[in-house]
Amino acid sequence: MQQHAISGSTSPRLSRYFITMTDIIPTADLPSLPIEGDERRFPVRRVFCIGRNYADHAKEMGAAAEAIFFMKPTDAVFTGSRLPYPQATSDLHHEVELVLALGDGGAIMGCAVGVDLTRRDLQGAMKAKSGPWEIGKAFENSAPVGLLRFGPVPERGKISLKVNGVRRQSGDLSEMILAPRRVLSELARYFTLKPGDLVFTGTPAGVGPLQRDDRVKAEIDGLPPLEFTIT
């Protein structure tokens, strides 16, 4: 398709975009993940999440330990180091999670450490109404993800999160109710998994609030740690 760069624009931000003859607005700039030892990037297609996949976390939320699926929009993915405190909440929670990155045929290409940021007050309000969770889960920058490591998915190993050096969450990947491959087979009952899809696989107990200036460090044995500061 014929494309024309915007020329003569005084905006450095706009000058990165191309406008086609048939699209009326610029195509969105989709996020991608950095890959360990590779200059290329992993472009993100969709973000699937599973809730209540560790029994101790389901218990602390007062919920049955029955896995449920939800999604975040692609532009929830955040790969920077300074994450702005989101609007419309006074109870932003951290949830450290193993993230699967899918390739051809929905097979696992690699893994990363992620945090499922949650506006717990808004999620709670929607739960009380039996409504959808989007306002609590699917906001901008709600899915920080670290460096992607290619290779097999770890089936066991420590998963933890510290805030300002103090441990808040701690568990083991082996405690997942649905192990990573089962998460994928369940998801595949409802969706055709595609290259570029990410899957957040649930969080262990210890979720809690974040404040501005908090330093978050999320770690999983064998994967590059994820660190960011709330601003």
Task: Point out which residues bind Mn ion (CB under 5 A).
Answer: 95, 116, 203
Nearest approach in angstroms of CB 41 to Mn ion is 24
Nearest approach in angstroms of CB 95 to Mn ion is 4
Q: Please, is 3 exposed, middle or buried when counting C-beta atoms within 10 Å of its C-beta (0-12, 13-18, 19+)?
A: exposed
Nearest approach in angstroms of CB 218 to Mn ion is 12
d(CA 84, CA 24): 30
- Output 35 or 117, the one with its CB closest to Mn ion: 117
Sign of CA dihedral 149, 153, 157, 160: positive
- Output 35 or 180, the one with its CB closest to Mn ion: 180
Chain position whose Cβ is nearest to Mn ion:
116
- Output 116 or 219, the one with its CB closest to Mn ion: 116
- Output 79 or 201, the one with its CB closest to Mn ion: 201
Nearest approach in angstroms of CB 76 to Mn ion is 12
What amino acid occupies position 47? V
- Output 68 or 147, the one with its CB closest to Mn ion: 68
Of 31, 65, 36, nearest to 198 by C-alpha is 31
d(CA 180, CA 220): 14
Sign of CA dihedral 103, 32, 192, 139: positive
**Residue 206, token pair as written in the block:** 């210890």
Nearest approach in angstroms of CB 69 to Mn ion is 11
